[in-house]
Amino acid sequence: MARKEKTATVAKAAKAAKKEVAAKKAAKKEVAAKKAAAPAKKRVTFTLAADAGSEVYVAGDFNGWDPAGRKLVDKKGDGVYSAVVTLAPGEYEYKFVINGTWCVDPNCQEWRQNSLGTLNSVLRV
């Protein structure tokens, strides 16, 4: 390969590398801008008093209504169960599942009827 051809090939490779680096920097900036524009998530504590030794979960539209999606823990063994869930700002419906039985939050002031004809607790973050 002639010297001119080698120089041209190296120049093309360097130019392509510069474009690739610029594209990566632009992509990183775009991701950072999206993160900055996204609303900040907040830690929400769900708390419920139930019989000590119970299995207690919280299920809602924030976890696909999975009845075993987020377990509440009774740290002191006194029947006060709690769990922290990180949620984006918005409105959520939820219920507690105590030993397999779906229950509204007795401490929640707002409830909404669901498609099954029962009530869901409403949370605004």
Residues 33, 47 within the same domain: no
The rounded distance, in Å, linking the Cα atoms of 70 and 84 is 9
pLDDT in tens, 60-102: 999 999 999 999 999 999 999 999 999 999 999 999 999 999 9
Band of residue 7 on the pLDDT scale cut at 50, 70, 90: low
Which is it for the CA torsion 82, 86, 89, 91, positive or negative? negative
Q: What is the pLDDT of residues 38-51, one digit of tens each?
A: 779 999 999 999 99
Cα of 41 vs its chain's centroid, Å: 8
Section 109-124 average pLDDT: 97
User: 33 and 16, same structural domain?
Assistant: yes
Are 34 and 48 part of one and the same domain?
A: no
Query: Do 106 and 76 lie in a common domain?
Result: yes
Check pLDDT > 70 for residue 1. no
69 & 107 share domain: yes
Are residues 20 and 70 part of one domain?
A: no
Burial class (CB in 10 A: 0-12, 13-18, 19+), 67: middle
Tell me whether strands 56-60 and 42-49 are parallel, antiparallel or unpaired: unpaired
Q: Are residues 34 and 57 in the same domain?
A: no
- Domain enclosing residue 24, as ranges: 1-38
Give one DSSP letter per residue of 28-60, joined into a string.
Answer: HHHHHHHHHHSPPPEEEEEEEE--TT--EEEEE
Q: Global pTM?
A: 0.69
Q: Are residues 56 and 84 in the same domain?
A: yes
Give the total number of structural domains in the chain.
Answer: 2
> What CATH number corresponds to the domain at position 57?
2.60.40.10
